Each structure stands twice: as C-alpha cells, then as structure tokens.
Amino acid sequence: MIFSFYHILILIVFGFFVGLIGSVMGIGGGAFIVPFLVIVFNIPIKSAIAVSLLSIIATSSSVASVNVEKGLANVRVGIFFELTMAVGSVTATYLMMGINSSILQILFSFMLLPTALSMYIKSRKPTKDIADTVAFHNDNNSEIYSYYDPSVKRTVFYSVKNKGSGFILSFFGGMMSGLFGLGGGIVQVPVMNMICNIPMKVATATSNFMIGLSASASVLILWSKNYLINDVAFFLIIGVILGGFVGMKFLYRAKNSTIQLIFSILLMITSIRMIIGVFR
C-alpha cells in the first residue's frame, strides 16, 4: 500500500473523532474503524479488525489511565465483569471460524434496537439521577461506591444492583469483541447502566477500562498472523489518543442524561447499519 501524507492526515483526523466518541461513550470505536478502513482505504476486513482491536487497546489504556486515577472507573466491578467478558472474548475467537456471521450479526442488531430505544426514553425523562436514589434507598446491604461529579458539584453515591445478570451479560460483551472486532462497550455500557443501575459516567469509564483486555485477547493472534498493518495502526492510534483526551474533558463535565441520549442514537445507527449490511 502506498502511504502518502494525505493518508496520514485522514487517519489522524478520523482517529481523533473515533477517540472523542469512544472516550465519551465508553466504546472502542470498532463499529466505525472497521467499515472506514475497508471502504476508504480498501483494506481487507481481517486486517481492518486487527487495526481496530489495537486501536481499542490504545483508547482503553489512555482513557482508563485518567478515569481510574480520578475514581470514575469502578475497578472492582470492572474486574468482576471481566471474568465472563474474557471467557466470551476467547470463546468468540473460536466461534468466528465456524458460525455464519450474518446470523449472529442479525441477532446482534435486533438486540441493540430495544436497548437503544429504552435508553433514549430514559434519557428524556426528567427524573432524579439513579445514583441518588440508590444511595438513599440502599437497603440490600450491597457495597456503596462514590465518585465526584463536577456537573452537579458533589460526590455521588451509588450501589450496584443485579450483579449476577451483569456478570452473565458481560459474556456477550466479550463475544462482540471476538466476533466483530468491536470493543464490547456497546453491550457493556447499557448492561451496567440499565441493569446494574451504575451511573452513566461510571458505566462508560468502567467500560473503557474493560474493553482493552478483551481486545488484547484477540489482537495478539491476528498480529502474529501478520494481519496488522503497522503504519495504518500507528497513525490512526495517534488520532485516537488525541481525541480520547479531548473526549474525557467532556465526559467529566457532561450530564448523565446527555451521554445516555448520544449513546442511544449511536446504538440505533449501529444497529440499522448492521441490519442493512446483512441484507445488502
């Protein structure tokens, strides 16, 4: 592949926007990177997935390095859900070779739509933050966590509900990584926010913390089989890291309902794009 300054510039600018969206939404941006590299750069899909997964590790590491220190990412919940996420990621790598990906893609797309709709409805409701309600009515003796939220200028307390359901569903987050080259945040964030009642900001920060691990499980294999295009990965990641740091400033100050709204629209677009992709 002939690599010009123009290509480098496109990769850095595109990476910047992916990093921006990824850090705010808690996703790796694989849903954007893979089609972009295939369509614009004419890169084979397996190489695009390898580049996407490496970029997910970079996003996850750079964004999580700040969020972990600030106490925004819930490390304990992250580790607990990573148990099944890692199993899902490893399992999916084997399944990818044997199962018809179109069937899985349809199932995944139809699973995303109701999630997106319910999250959209939730973001439009002028209700009290989940975190407050949980802190005031924590009668199930579960662990209480907290983080400082500059958008409301106070420390917010919350507890994690339905840990078992989140634990099981994280498996599917890992599956997304191995099957489609996604980080898994597109499953992980709604699971943590809607099922486990984790505030949106903490859910996105924790998801960012988690997705790098599932990506690293798959990318090492693709890298050892020479699927990774180093130049493309390097310049894309430079943009992703820059975008990630800008996005984090927004995440820390943004309202939970704003993030929910953006995320629900993003989910709908991804879902529709995947359905169209299968029937095209």
Partner 1 sequence: MKKEEKKLLSAVSFSLRMGVFLFIILGAISYLPLRYSSFIMDLGIFFLILTPLLRIIILCIGLWHIGDRRYSVYAFLVFVIIISGFLFKSG
Cβ-based burial of 218 (10 A; exposed 0-12, middle 13-18, buried ≥19): buried
Least distance (Å) between residue 25 CB and partner 1: 19
In angstroms, what is the minimal distance from the CB of 242 to partner 1? 11
Minimum distance of partner 1 from residue 206's CB (angstroms): 13
Nearer to partner 1, 194 or 213 (CB): 213
User: How large is the angle between the packed helices 5-25 and 256-279, nearest 10 degrees?
Assistant: 120
Rounded Cα–Cα distance for residues 7 and 36 (Å): 13
Distance between CA atoms of residues 244 and 247, nearest Å: 5
Nearer Cβ to partner 1, position 120 or 234? 234
Phi, psi at 147, each rounded to 5°: -155, 155
Task: Using CB under 8 A, list all residues that contact partner 1.
Answer: 54, 57-58, 60-62, 64-66, 68-69, 71, 75-76, 79-80, 82-83, 86-87, 89-90, 93, 212-213, 215-217, 219-221, 223-224, 228, 230, 233-234, 237-238, 241
Q: Which is nearer to partner 1, 34 or 58 (CB)?
A: 58
* Block residue for tokens 């099957």: 179
Label residue 117 exposed, middle or buried (CB < 10 Å: 0-12, 13-18, 19+): middle
* Min CB(85)–partner 1 separation in Å: 8
Cβ-based nearer residue to partner 1, 23 or 264: 23
Task: Please identify, using beta-carbon distances, which residue of 232 and 254 lies nearer to partner 1.
Answer: 232
**Residue 68: CB minimum distance to partner 1, A:** 5
Which residues are bridge partners to 144 per DSSP? 159
Other CB atoms within 10 Å distance of the CB of residue 129: 17
Nearer to partner 1, 85 or 186 (CB): 85
Best CA proximity match to 7, nearest among 219, 231, 249: 231
Task: Give me the phi and psi of 157, to 5 degrees please.
Answer: -105, 145
Distance CA 40, CA 38 (A): 6
Distance CA 269, CA 267 (A): 5
Output 116 or 192, the one with its CB closest to partner 1.
192
Give the helix/strand (H/E) hosting 149. Answer: strand 144-149
CB of 233 to partner 1, least distance (A): 7
Report, in Å, the least distance between residue 265 CB and partner 1. Answer: 29
